Chains A and B, each alone.
Chain A
Amino acid sequence: MSTLPPGFRIQRETNTEEFFINMGPQHPSTHGALRLALRMDGETIVELVPHFGYIHRGMEKQAESMSYLQYIALSDRQDYLTAIQNNLGVVIALEKGMNVGVPEKAEYIRVMLQELGRIASHLVFYGCFGGDLGGQTCLLFGFKEREMIHDILEEVTGSRLTTNFFRPGGSRYDVPDTFIPRVKAFLDHLEGAMRDYERFLSKNIIVLERSVGIGILSKEDAIAYGCSGPVLRASGVNFDVRRANPYSIYSQLDFDVPVFQNGDCYDRYKIRIAEIHESMKILRQCIDKFPKEGPWRSKEKPVRLPVGRYYSEIETAKGLYATYVVAATTGEKPYRIHTRGPSFPHIAALNKMAQGHKISDLVTIMATLDPVIPEIDR
C-alpha cells in the first residue's frame, strides 16, 4: 500500500463505503502492463490514478549510446501498432538535420505505407473496442483485415510488425512490382469488409447504450491535457498534423479531417471508422498518381548530423508523434533524443473521463483511447 497516494489508503473505522481496487498490471483490459489504482464506491469509480513504468526500457537513454540509424529500429518498439509511422517521425527529424531531399516516388511509398499503417492500427482499435465490450468476435474480425496489411508490409519491408523501413532520403528498398496491385486488391476487399464491420457495431443498440455519453472529454480538457489524434478530434478540435503542419506530400492530397463534437466513446469510435475511409481515399489517390519511373531514394550518404536541434512531428494513428533530436557534436550519435508519444496524455486524461462511471465503462473508455503501453513507458 505504500505506493499509493494517501487518499487510497482505506481508513477502516471512518470510511467503509469506499474501497480500493487494483486494476492491472495483469488485467485483460488494460492493453498491456498498465496499473490503474481505482477508488471505488460500489461499482462506481470515485478516483483513478494510473501507474506507468512496468515495461520501461529506457529507450531515450539507450538512444544516447546508439547511432541515429539504430534508433530508427528502436522506434518500432515504441508503439508497435504504428511502427511504420514512428519510423517516419524519426526519419523526418534526421532529414532536417542532414538536409537531404526525398524523391517523389519515395514520398508516395511513405504516404502509402503511412496510411496502410493507420488502417491497421484503427482495425486493431475496432477489434479491441468490440472485444472490450464483450464481443469477442469483433476482435478476430478486426485482426483478419489487419493480417492482409501485414502481408503487404512483409512483402515491402521484410517484416510484419517491426518494420524498420524508412531511411533518411528514402527507404531501405524499392517497393516490389506487386505492391500497387496488392494495395488495390486490398482496398477493394476492405470496402466490403468495412460495410460489414460498421453494420456489426455502429448501430448495435447495446453498443450505443454503452458508448453514447460515456467518458465525455470536453474540448477544453482535451486541449489542456495535450490529447491529440482521434481523441482530440472527437472532442471537436480540428487539429491534424497532416493539415496543420503538412509533412511529406500530404499537402498535395485531397482528404477530409473528420471532426466530431461530443467527445464521448461513441464519437471516438466513429471518428476512427471515418478515418479508415479517409485513409482509403488517400491510398486510392496515391495509387493513381504513383510514379512508375524515378529514383526511390536520394543519393545515399552517411547519417551524420551537424550540431543543432531538430524537431519533427507527424500524425500517427494514435495522434501527434514528435521526435526531438539534440546533436551536441557532429557525428553519428545523438546527444539526446526525446519522443513525445500520443498515448501518455490520453491516459493522463483517463481520470477526468472515468470519474463517476461504472467499472465496465472504464473498460470502454480505455478501449476508445486506444493506448499502447510500451509507447507510454518507452
Chain B
Amino acid sequence: MYVPSVTHPIGDFVREWVPKLSAYLPEQLQSQTLDTIVAFLVNAVICIVAVCAVNIGSAPILIYMERKVCAHVQCRLGPMRLGWHGTIQTIADVIKMLFKEVYAPSGADKLMFYLAPLIVLIAPFMVAALIPFDKNLVVSDVSMGIPLIIAVNGFGVLGILLGGWSSNNKYSLLGALRSGAQMISYEISFAMILLFVVMISGSTNLMSITQSQAGTIADWFIFKIPVLGFIGFILFFISSTAEMNRAPFDIAEAEQELTGGYHTEYNGTPFAMFYLAEYIALVTNSALATTCFLGGFHAPCIGVAFVDNYLTMVPGVVWFFAKVFFMIWCYMMVRWTFVRPRVDQLMDFEWKFLLPVNLLLLGAGAAYIVISG
C-alpha cells in the first residue's frame, strides 16, 4: 500500500505508535493491513491540517503585510488602530466578512455561483502540498512534481470562468473572459520556465530540484547558470504575476474598468474565498520561485566556513520562509508601483515577446548544458 512520504518525522512517529496502540485491541481485530490503513489515515489528516494551517494561517499575515507595504509605498501608515500597529485589523475584517449575509444575484446559476470559489481554492492548496519546506517537511514528495503543478494550476482558471459566467453580470463575464485568455496564455510561459528548471536540475521532483541547489549561494539556479538563470527568474516572476492575476496584470478584476471583474457579485464568505485563494496563490508561487531559483530551504552560504557554520545552524524552514516572504515583498512592491497594461497589450506581450524569449532561453539553456557537460 502506498504511504505518502510526508511521513518523515511525524509519519515515522505515527507508524511506530499505531501498531503499539493496536496491541490493546481484541486479537481478532489486529492485523498488519489495519495498522497500515490507520497509519495512512492519521498521516493524511495530519497532512491536511498542516497544509490548511500553513495556507489559511498565512493569509491574514499577508493581508496585513500587503496593507502595510501598500501604505508605506503610498506615504501612509496603514491600519494603526486595532492592536499594536493595527495587527488585529485583519482578524476584525475576516470576522466582518464571515458574518455577512451570503446571497446570489437574481438570475445567477446558484450551483455554479457557489461552486466557483471552492474550485479556485483547489489549485493553491494542492500546490502547497508539493512544496518541500525543509529536508523532511513535505506533504507529498511525488516524482512528477513539476508537471503536477502545471496541471493543477489550470484549476484556477476554471473557478474564475465559472464565477464570472454564473454571476449574470456583464462586467463579471468580461472579467472572466479576460482572465481565461490571460491565464491560459501565461500558463505556457509559466510551464516553459519550469521546464527550464527541470532541464538544469535533471529532475521533476521538487525535493531533488532543491537538493541539487545545495552548497553555496552560487549553486542556486538563479546564479548557477550565468545570466540565463537570472533571466529565467525574471521571466518566472513576470509570468507568475500574470498567472496569479495580480497587478499590474490584474486585468481580470481591473477595478477601474470592470468594477471588480469576475468577483463583482460576490460578497461575504464566497468573496473571502476568492480573496483567500489569491493570497494562498501568492504564497505558493513565491514558494515555487524559492524552490526553483532561490535554493529552497538551503541557507545562503557564501563559502566561508566560519560564516556558513552559523548560517546552517538556522533551520531550513526558517530560511525557506524568509525567502518566500522576500518574494512576496517583491510581488507587493511591483503591484503598488506599476500601472496596468490594456488587455490586448497583455496578450501581445505574452505571445510576441515572453514566449519567444522563453523558447530562446530553453535553447540557450540546452546549449549551456551540452557545452559545460
Contact = CB atoms under 8 A, between A and B. Distances in A.
Interface of A: 19, 21, 27-29, 43, 130-141, 144, 201, 204, 206-207, 209-210, 358-363
Nearest to A139: B74
A43 B73 contact: no
A358 B174 CA distance: 12
Contacts of A139: 74
B341 A206 contact: yes
A210 B349 CA distance: 13
Nearest to B337: A137
A131 B74 contact: no
B257 A210 contact: no
B342 A358 contact: yes
A3 B338 CA distance: 39
Contacts of B75: 140-141, 144
B256 A134 contact: yes
B345 A210 contact: yes
A134 B343 contact: no
B141 interface: no
B342 A136 contact: no
Given A134-B250, A134-B339, A28 B74 contact: no
A200 to B, nearest CB: 9
A132 B256 contact: yes
Contact of B256 (A204, A207, A209, A363): A363
Given A27-B259, A141-B75, A210 B339 contact: yes
Contacts of B256: 28-29, 131-134, 363
B74 A361 contact: no
Contacts of B74: 136-137, 139-141
Contacts of B339: 130, 133-135, 138, 201, 204, 206-207, 210
Interface of B: 70, 73-76, 170-171, 174, 247-248, 250-251, 254-259, 336-345
**Closest A-B pairs by Cβ, 4 of them:** A134-B340, A140-B74, A135-B339, A133-B339
Nearest to A200: B337
A206 B338 contact: yes
Nearest to A131: B256
A43 B178 CA distance: 10
A263 B344 CA distance: 23
A32 to B, nearest CB: 14
Contact of B336 (A19, A137, A359): A137
Contacts of A140: 74-76
Given A144-B75, A209-B341, A358-B344, 4 more contacts: A27-B259, A132-B256, A134-B256, A134-B339
A206 B342 CA distance: 9
Given A130-B339, A131-B256, A360-B254, A206 B248 contact: yes
A352 to B, nearest CB: 20
Contacts of A136: 70, 74, 336
A135 B337 contact: yes
11 contacts: A19-B170, A21-B171, A27-B259, A133-B340, A134-B339, A135-B337, A135-B338, A206-B338, A209-B345, A210-B341, A360-B342
B73 A28 contact: no
Contact of A358 (B70, B255, B259, B343): B343
A137 B344 contact: no
B156 to A, nearest CB: 21
Contacts of A358: 342-344
B354 to A, nearest CB: 15
A359 B250 CA distance: 15
A144 B77 CA distance: 13
Contacts of B340: 133-135, 206, 360
Contacts of B76: 140
Nearest to A134: B340
A21 B170 CA distance: 7
B47 to A, nearest CB: 38
Nearest to A26: B259
B126 to A, nearest CB: 30
A136 B251 CA distance: 14
Contacts of A27: 259
Contacts of B259: 27-28
A8 to B, nearest CB: 14
Nearest to A136: B336
A28 B256 CA distance: 6
A155 B268 CA distance: 44
Nearest to A38: B170
Contacts of B171: 21
A21 B172 CA distance: 12
A210 B247 CA distance: 15
